[in-house]
């Protein structure tokens, strides 16, 4: 099988570029046929993948979760395989799917065609996502984390962004509709999880399964900042569901 590697040079401050030669050596050592395409933009990633569908069987991300999401949007509805060599700051998709992080392990998974069919979340009928989609506080946190220039990654970076955002953030009113029910809620944020983890390892939707055809909804209701600070560490173990300010349910679809 031919492999197209999409390399995002901006992933984790250029780390993907630094390991390019190692990746090429590993692919050659494992007898894997490949080409590498360097891409900086989401538009180029999607376009490159779509125009290469007749040439390659496997499409491999050498980058982070963002690169994977764009590639998934290009591959949705096809029978092509999406794989990854995790080189991002969070790498939550690889963690959720228990994918290898070591280069040799990645090559063996590709060589042995270790494939798993999973669901995709769909937003507004046009944008697919692999893991967790959120609205409210966590969207602000994600933007801050992605733009943080400090040399930190993963859970540390997202935790920093959480506490930084908490200083000025105010809860929002959300109108939601699901299962023929309509509600208005005052919440910090809510997420629709196809997978359990995001934000560098936070198990915000701990019961989510990307093969069950169901979205797990987690709503973090309005609370005072002291309570939030005390409760926040529980999310890393997925132990926040018992909190009185947390609501969790499962649906096929939801309008927000």
% of residues, the chain, pLDDT over 70:
97
For residues 129 and 123, is the Cβ–Cβ distance under 8 A? Answer: yes
Q: Which residues contact 231 (CB under 8 A, 6 or more apart)?
A: 223, 240, 243, 245
Q: Which residues contact 4 (CB under 8 A, 6 or more apart)?
A: 34, 35, 37, 48, 49, 52, 55, 56, 58, 59, 60
pLDDT tens readout for residues 165-182 = 998 999 999 999 999 999
155 pLDDT more than 80: no
* Domains contained in the chain, CATH given: 2-117 (3.40.50.10330), 132-251 (2.60.200.40)
13 pLDDT more than 80: no
Element (H or E) spanning 126, and its range? Answer: none
Element (H or E) spanning 75, and its range? Answer: helix 65-75
Specify the pTM. Answer: 0.90
200 pLDDT band (50/70/90 cuts)?
Answer: confident
The 3-state DSSP class for residue 245 equals coil
Q: What is the mean pLDDT of the chain?
A: 93
What average pLDDT does the segment 227-240 reach? 94
Instruction: Please list the helix, strand and coil fractions of the chain in percent, rounded to the nearest 5, in that order.
Output: 35, 30, 40
Give the closest residue to 218 by CA, choosing from 197, 200, 228: 197
Q: Six-digit token pair at 185?
A: 């809620």
pLDDT of residue 153: 66
pLDDT tens readout for residues 96-139 = 999 999 999 999 999 999 999 999 999 999 999 999 999 999 88
What average pLDDT does the segment 81-87 reach? 96
């Amino acid at each position: 099988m031919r492999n197209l590697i999409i390399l995002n040079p901006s992933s984790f401050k250029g780390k993907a570029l630094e390991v390019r030669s190692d990746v090429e050596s590993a692919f050659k050592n494992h007898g894997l046929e490949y080409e590498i395409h360097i891409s900086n933009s989401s538009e180029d990633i999607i376009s490159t993948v779509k125009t290469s569908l007749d040439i390659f069987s496997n499409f491999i991300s050498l980058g982070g979760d963002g690169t994977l999401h764009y590639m998934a949007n290009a591959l949705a509805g096809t029978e092509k395989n999406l794989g990854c060599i995790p080189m991002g700051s969070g790498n939550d998709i690889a963690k959720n799917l228990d994918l290898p992080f070591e280069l040799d392990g990645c090559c063996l998974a590709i060589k042995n065609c270790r494939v798993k069919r999973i669901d995709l979340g769909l937003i507004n009928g046009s944008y697919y996502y692999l893991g967790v989609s959120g609205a409210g506080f966590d969207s602000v946190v994600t933007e801050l984390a992605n733009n943080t220039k400090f040399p930190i990654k993963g859970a540390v970076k997202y935790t920093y962004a959480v506490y930084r955002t908490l200083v000025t953030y105010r809860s929002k009113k959300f109108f939601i509709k699901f299962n023929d029910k309509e509600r208005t809620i005052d919440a910090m944020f809510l997420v629709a999880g196809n997978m359990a983890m995001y934000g560098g390892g936070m198990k915000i939707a701990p019961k989510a399964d990307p093969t069950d055809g169901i979205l797990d909804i987690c709503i973090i209701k309005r609370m005072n900042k002291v309570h939030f600070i005390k409760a926040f560490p529980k999310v890393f173990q997925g132990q926040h569901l018992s909190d009185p300010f947390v609501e969790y349910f499962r649906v096929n679809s939801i309008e927000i």
